Protein backbone atom coordinates (compact mmCIF):
# COMPACT_ATOMS: atom_id res chain seq x y z
CA UNK A 1 0.00 0.00 0.00
CA UNK A 2 2.85 2.41 0.74
CA UNK A 3 4.19 1.91 -2.78
CA UNK A 4 0.74 2.78 -4.18
CA UNK A 5 0.46 5.87 -1.97
CA UNK A 6 3.93 7.10 -2.90
CA UNK A 7 3.27 6.61 -6.62
CA UNK A 8 -0.11 8.36 -6.32
CA UNK A 9 1.44 11.36 -4.53
CA UNK A 10 4.24 11.47 -7.11
CA UNK A 11 1.67 11.62 -9.93
CA UNK A 12 -0.30 14.35 -8.10
CA UNK A 13 2.90 16.41 -8.03
CA UNK A 14 3.43 15.75 -11.75
CA UNK A 15 -0.11 17.03 -12.42
CA UNK A 16 0.58 20.17 -10.40
CA UNK A 17 3.85 20.69 -12.24
CA UNK A 18 2.03 20.42 -15.60
CA UNK A 19 -0.43 23.09 -14.46
CA UNK A 20 2.46 25.24 -13.26
CA UNK A 21 4.16 24.89 -16.66
CA UNK A 22 0.95 25.78 -18.46
CA UNK A 23 -0.21 28.62 -16.21
CA UNK A 24 3.13 29.81 -14.82
CA UNK A 25 2.50 29.47 -11.09
CA UNK A 26 1.11 27.30 -8.36
CA UNK A 27 -2.49 27.77 -7.32
CA UNK A 28 -5.00 26.44 -4.82
CA UNK A 29 -8.24 24.82 -5.87
CA UNK A 30 -10.14 27.94 -4.86
CA UNK A 31 -8.04 30.08 -7.22
CA UNK A 32 -8.66 28.40 -10.57
CA UNK A 33 -11.59 30.70 -11.35
CA UNK A 34 -9.76 33.89 -10.40
CA UNK A 35 -6.75 32.82 -12.48
CA UNK A 36 -8.94 32.31 -15.54
CA UNK A 37 -8.28 28.58 -15.76
CA UNK A 38 -11.21 26.82 -17.48
CA UNK A 39 -13.09 24.30 -15.31
CA UNK A 40 -12.49 21.55 -17.88
CA UNK A 41 -9.99 21.25 -20.65
CA UNK A 42 -6.72 19.80 -21.87
CA UNK A 43 -3.20 20.84 -22.70
CA UNK A 44 -1.48 17.96 -24.49
CA UNK A 45 1.79 19.90 -24.79
CA UNK A 46 2.29 19.17 -21.06
CA UNK A 47 0.83 15.65 -21.12
CA UNK A 48 -2.66 16.55 -19.90
CA UNK A 49 -5.17 15.01 -22.31
CA UNK A 50 -8.11 15.84 -20.03
CA UNK A 51 -8.77 17.63 -16.75
CA UNK A 52 -11.71 18.85 -14.74
CA UNK A 53 -12.03 20.70 -11.46
CA UNK A 54 -14.68 19.31 -9.11
CA UNK A 55 -15.75 20.34 -5.63
CA UNK A 56 -12.46 20.70 -3.80
CA UNK A 57 -10.40 18.68 -6.23
CA UNK A 58 -9.11 17.99 -9.68
CA UNK A 59 -9.35 15.03 -12.06
CA UNK A 60 -6.70 14.66 -14.75
CA UNK A 61 -5.47 12.25 -17.33
CA UNK A 62 -1.73 12.84 -17.45
CA UNK A 63 0.34 10.85 -19.94
CA UNK A 64 -2.38 8.19 -20.02
CA UNK A 65 -2.70 7.87 -16.22
CA UNK A 66 -5.86 9.00 -14.49
CA UNK A 67 -5.22 10.96 -11.29
CA UNK A 68 -8.01 12.40 -9.14
CA UNK A 69 -7.27 14.26 -5.93
CA UNK A 70 -8.80 16.66 -3.44
CA UNK A 71 -7.00 19.63 -1.97
CA UNK A 72 -6.70 19.40 1.81
CA UNK A 73 -8.32 21.84 4.24
CA UNK A 74 -5.31 24.18 3.96
CA UNK A 75 -4.69 23.61 0.26
CA UNK A 76 -2.47 20.55 0.81
CA UNK A 77 -1.86 18.27 -2.14
CA UNK A 78 -0.40 15.31 -0.24
CA UNK A 79 -3.68 13.83 1.00
CA UNK A 80 -5.47 10.72 -0.23
CA UNK A 81 -8.50 8.59 0.50
CA UNK A 82 -9.52 5.04 -0.23
CA UNK A 83 -11.68 5.84 -3.23
CA UNK A 84 -9.02 7.86 -5.02
CA UNK A 85 -6.33 5.27 -4.31
CA UNK A 86 -8.64 2.57 -5.65
CA UNK A 87 -9.30 4.57 -8.84
CA UNK A 88 -5.59 5.28 -9.23
CA UNK A 89 -4.65 1.61 -8.71
CA UNK A 90 -6.87 0.73 -11.68
CA UNK A 91 -4.19 2.36 -13.88
CA UNK A 92 -1.87 -0.49 -12.80
CA UNK A 93 -3.98 -3.67 -12.57
CA UNK A 94 -1.02 -6.05 -12.50
CA UNK A 95 1.29 -4.06 -10.22
CA UNK A 96 -1.43 -3.27 -7.67
CA UNK A 97 -3.72 -6.29 -8.06
CA UNK A 98 -4.93 -6.44 -4.41
CA UNK A 99 -5.99 -2.78 -4.57
CA UNK A 100 -8.43 -3.39 -7.44
CA UNK A 101 -10.96 -4.02 -4.64
CA UNK A 102 -12.16 -0.77 -3.02
CA UNK A 103 -13.16 -2.54 0.22
CA UNK A 104 -9.64 -3.93 0.54
CA UNK A 105 -8.18 -0.46 0.02
CA UNK A 106 -10.42 0.97 2.75
CA UNK A 107 -9.57 -1.82 5.18
CA UNK A 108 -5.86 -1.39 4.50
CA UNK A 109 -6.07 2.36 5.15
CA UNK A 110 -7.93 1.79 8.42
CA UNK A 111 -5.27 -0.70 9.47
CA UNK A 112 -2.53 1.78 8.58
CA UNK A 113 -4.30 4.43 10.68
CA UNK A 114 -4.43 2.04 13.64
CA UNK A 115 -0.70 1.46 13.19
CA UNK A 116 -0.25 5.25 13.07
CA UNK A 117 1.33 5.11 9.61
CA UNK A 118 -1.30 7.56 8.33
CA UNK A 119 -3.59 10.07 9.98
CA UNK A 120 -6.58 12.17 9.05
CA UNK A 121 -6.47 15.94 9.14
CA UNK A 122 -9.01 17.54 11.41
CA UNK A 123 -12.18 18.31 9.48
CA UNK A 124 -11.04 16.32 6.44
CA UNK A 125 -11.80 12.95 4.93
CA UNK A 126 -8.24 12.77 3.59
CA UNK A 127 -5.44 10.70 5.05
CA UNK A 128 -1.85 11.91 5.21
CA UNK A 129 1.38 9.98 5.73
CA UNK A 130 2.98 10.43 9.12
Task: List phi, psi (to 5°) of 77.
Answer: -120, 10
Mean per-residue pLDDT, 9-37: 84
Q: Tell me the pLDDT of the chain averaged across its residues.
A: 93
Position 74 scores a pLDDT of 85
> Cα separation of 66 and 123, whole Å?
26
pLDDT band at 73 (very low <50, low <70, confident <90, very high): confident
Q: Where are the domains of the chain?
A: 2-129
User: Cα torsion at 47, 50, 55, 56 (round to 10°)?
Assistant: 0
pTM of the model: 0.93
Contacts of residue 87, Cβ cutoff 8 Å, sequence gap at least 6: 66, 68
Q: Please report the beta strands in the chain, taking only residues with DSSP state E, as ranges in sequence order.
A: 40-43, 48-54, 57-62, 65-70, 118-120, 127-129
Amino acid sequence: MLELIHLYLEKVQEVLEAFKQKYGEEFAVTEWRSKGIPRVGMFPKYGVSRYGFHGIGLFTKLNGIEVDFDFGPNGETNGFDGWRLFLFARNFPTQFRPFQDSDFVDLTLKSMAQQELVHRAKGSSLYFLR
